[in-house]
Homo-oligomer: A and B are copies of this chain.
Amino acid sequence: MARKTGSHSEITGPRIRAEASRLFARHGFAAVSMRQIAAAVGVQAGALYLYTPDKEALLFDLLKTHMEELLAAWHTEPKGAEPLEALERFVRFHIGFNLMRSEAVFLSYMELRNLSEANFAVIEGLRRAYETELEEILKAGQAAGALSVPDTKLATMAIIAMLTGVNTWYREGGRLSRDTVETIYWDMVRKAVGA
């Protein structure tokens, strides 16, 4: 048999990406075979090559899409007028978005080393662009006297690491609601860099 009824590329393409993301996040890129991905989608391995030139390109596509969506989502977020408000928005946005996309976030941190040098540079560039968004907030806050940040680069890295860390322990339906977590983290960040 070939081509089951109702099966189209607009369906199979996204499903391949979804299953690949799930499997890569769970077991790691190198530990997941094209045959496993195909089986999860319900096709033969060969069919995957209608949607991706090779395995690495599939990973790259997932990472690139994620980073671009992260940046796009941040840019549509309403900006805070004052430095402290801008920082709070960033903190809440980062925690919220990352919890919504935990699989892709995990991938973006863990599987960079499986990329070719050129592809790595692309993802790295997108990540740096995102980090710069936070650093600009900190710089502006420092300049306005609303924040006390001895080294904005370090503070940027520290805050992002701290916020992203939520993904390692947060479970939906756990002890704390997402909003409570955001509030507690915002409280710590505010105190850490507040004037």
List chain A positions with a Cβ less than 8 A from chain B: 26-31, 110, 113-114, 150-151, 154-155, 157-162, 164-166, 168-169, 176, 181, 184-185, 187-189, 191-194
27 A–B contacts from the bound complex (CB under 8 Å): A26-B113, A27-B113, A28-B30, A28-B114, A29-B30, A30-B30, A30-B31, A31-B114, A150-B184, A150-B187, A151-B176, A151-B184, A154-B176, A154-B185, A157-B165, A157-B166, A157-B168, A158-B165, A158-B188, A160-B165, A161-B161, A161-B162, A161-B164, A162-B165, A189-B192, A191-B191, A191-B192
- Most chain B C-beta atoms within 10 Å of own C-beta, residue among A110, A113, A176, A188: A188
Which chain B positions have C-beta within 8 A of A159? 162
A161 to B158, CA, bound (A): 8
- Most chain B C-beta atoms within 10 Å of own C-beta, residue among A150, A162, A184, A185: A162
Q: Find out whether the CB atom of A158 lies under 8 angstroms from the CB atom of B185.
A: yes
- Most chain B C-beta atoms within 10 Å of own C-beta, residue among A28, A110, A158, A193: A158
Which chain B positions have C-beta within 8 A of A187? 150
Which chain B positions have C-beta within 8 A of A191? 191-194
A27 to B181, CA, bound (A): 34
Give 9 nearest A-B pairs by CB, closest first. A161-B165, A30-B30, A192-B192, A30-B31, A162-B162, A188-B192, A158-B162, A191-B192, A161-B162
A113 to B30, CA, bound (A): 12
A190 to B131, CA, bound (A): 23
| Cβ of A26 to closest chain B Cβ, rounded Å | 7
| Cβ of A168 to closest chain B Cβ, rounded Å | 7
Which chain B positions have C-beta within 8 A of A184? 150-151, 154
A141 to B150, CA, bound (A): 25
A191 to B150, CA, bound (A): 13
A184 to B166, CA, bound (A): 22
